[in-house]
Homo-oligomer: A and B are copies of this chain.
Amino acid sequence: MNAPIPFQSATCPLPLRDYPQIVMGHGGGGKLSAELIEHVFLPAFGLSDQVLSDSTVLDLPGHRIAVSTDSFVVRPLFFPGGSIGDLAVNGTVNDLAMSGAIPKYLTAGFILEEGLEIETLVRIAADMARAARDAGVCIVAGDTKVVERGRGDGCYINTTGIGLLPSGRDISIGQACSGDAVLISGTIADHAMAIMSVRDGLEFEAPIRSDTVSVSSMVQGLMKDCPNVRCLRDPTRGGLATTMNEIAAASCCGIELVESDIPVDPVVRSACEFLGLDPMLAANEGKFVAIVPGEDAERALASIRSHPFGRAAAIIGRVVEDPHHLVVAKTLFGSNRVVPMPIGEQLPRIC
């Protein structure tokens, strides 16, 4: 039962299908999304793979800024624990925080569908304003376009964020080293299950709320307490599985996770089991993964746990040498399984 698995052949060696048209999976944050970027955008724009990161560092004369852009198409617009307005602010703020930057400014671009209630837009704007205040950022520029009925879905929002990068700070997903510890800042899969429950009208033992929140202050605290943080990443679309695979690939290492150490709220776990969904593939909107040197693991954990949003933080695995750059999880039954990069998307329009 527990014979060694030939991991090097455990992922599909075939190329993905060469789709002639956009499919929903191209927006899922998994392999199809990566292929679209790799085969369409990077060659056209003449960019390096560095842009595959969620934010980009720019050298201005005299200092560095981080820039990140994200469009939000979540359905429905309001869900337990938040709205598209919260997501649009927190999502971009968190992407900036993952580069080590201090988020400062946001722009907001709205694509509204004819017929949207103005009252709905007012609520969304109020949520954005509150989230921006909580995250310590200013919304400094905006734009509104309107499309005909049936050419949109109420409201889509793009936010682009600018953050200041303190000098000497160097965080990237390509820096994980064998022996490093992998931490998560709290429970996973809350956001995806909150969306699922409201979208499908499901009721569980207790209401499931999205975890949408800015992690910026938590990250600034961590960077202060533990300046040697190597990688930060927020497991949004594609979930923890995607984040772990991206770090393994970018850092040319393997990652070993211990499933029983990954915090999942019991109600969320039941919901996942009921729906047949893997929590590791489910989106989060207020969590981050940190990779720190092994000797700093406990200090980093204490730092994250000292923050109100980080009380459920945990050390969930370690970085290992692996020429195949696999992510492997020790299951609850003691066996090992490969955690592959998802191809398409488990839940469309989750953010």
Q: State the A residues within 8 Å of B (CB).
A: 19-28, 33, 36-37, 40-41, 44-47, 51, 55-56, 58, 60-63, 65, 67-73, 104-105, 107-119, 121-122, 125-126, 128-129, 132, 139-148, 150-153, 156, 158, 160, 162, 164, 348-349
Given contacts A22-B146, A24-B146, A36-B144, contact A125 B45 (CB under 8 A): yes
Q: Are A129 and B19 in contact (CB under 8 A)?
A: no
Give the chain B neighbours of A141 by CB distance below 8 A.
Answer: 51, 55-56, 67-69, 160
Q: Are A71 and B110 in contact (CB under 8 A)?
A: yes
Given contacts A109-B70, A144-B36, A146-B348, contact A20 B119 (CB under 8 A): yes
Q: Are A115 and B158 in contact (CB under 8 A)?
A: no
Task: Give the 5 A-B CB pairs with smallest separation, nearest first.
Answer: A27-B146, A44-B125, A160-B160, A69-B107, A158-B158
Q: Are B148 and A117 in contact (CB under 8 A)?
A: no
> Contact partner of A129 among B45, B67, B122, B139, CB < 8 A?
B45
> Contact partner of A37 among B68, B104, B107, B142, CB < 8 A?
B142
Q: Are B70 and A37 in contact (CB under 8 A)?
A: no
A45 and B56 CA atoms in complex are apart in Å by: 26
Give the chain B neighbours of A146 by CB distance below 8 A.
Answer: 22-28, 348
Q: Are B58 and A105 in contact (CB under 8 A)?
A: yes
Q: Pick from A19, A69, A114, A162 the residue with the most CB of B within 10 Å.
A: A69
A65 and B164 CA atoms in complex are apart in Å by: 13
A129 and B145 CA atoms in complex are apart in Å by: 23
Q: Are A143 and B45 in contact (CB under 8 A)?
A: no
Q: Are A349 and B22 in contact (CB under 8 A)?
A: no
Q: Are B60 and A24 in contact (CB under 8 A)?
A: no
CB distance from A54 to the nearest CB of B (A): 8
Q: Are A158 and B348 in contact (CB under 8 A)?
A: no
Q: Are A150 and B150 in contact (CB under 8 A)?
A: yes
Q: Are A109 and B164 in contact (CB under 8 A)?
A: no
Q: Are B125 and A73 in contact (CB under 8 A)?
A: no
Q: Pick from A19, A44, A113 the residue with the most CB of B within 10 Å.
A: A44
Give the chain B neighbours of A60 by CB distance below 8 A.
Answer: 60, 63, 65, 164
A152 and B139 CA atoms in complex are apart in Å by: 26
A110 and B126 CA atoms in complex are apart in Å by: 25
Given contacts A41-B125, A44-B125, A44-B128, contact A70 B143 (CB under 8 A): yes
Q: Are B142 and A41 in contact (CB under 8 A)?
A: yes
Give the chain B neighbours of A21 by CB distance below 8 A.
Answer: 114-118
A150 and B147 CA atoms in complex are apart in Å by: 12
Give the chain B neighbours of A139 by CB distance below 8 A.
Answer: 45, 47
Given contacts A20-B117, A114-B22, contact A45 B105 (CB under 8 A): no
Give the chain B neighbours of A19 by CB distance below 8 A.
Answer: 118
Given contacts A60-B164, A105-B67, contact A27 B144 (CB under 8 A): yes
Q: Are B143 and A69 in contact (CB under 8 A)?
A: yes
Q: Are A51 and B158 in contact (CB under 8 A)?
A: no
Given contacts A45-B125, A122-B44, A129-B46, contact A71 B111 (CB under 8 A): yes
CB distance from A343 to the nearest CB of B (A): 14
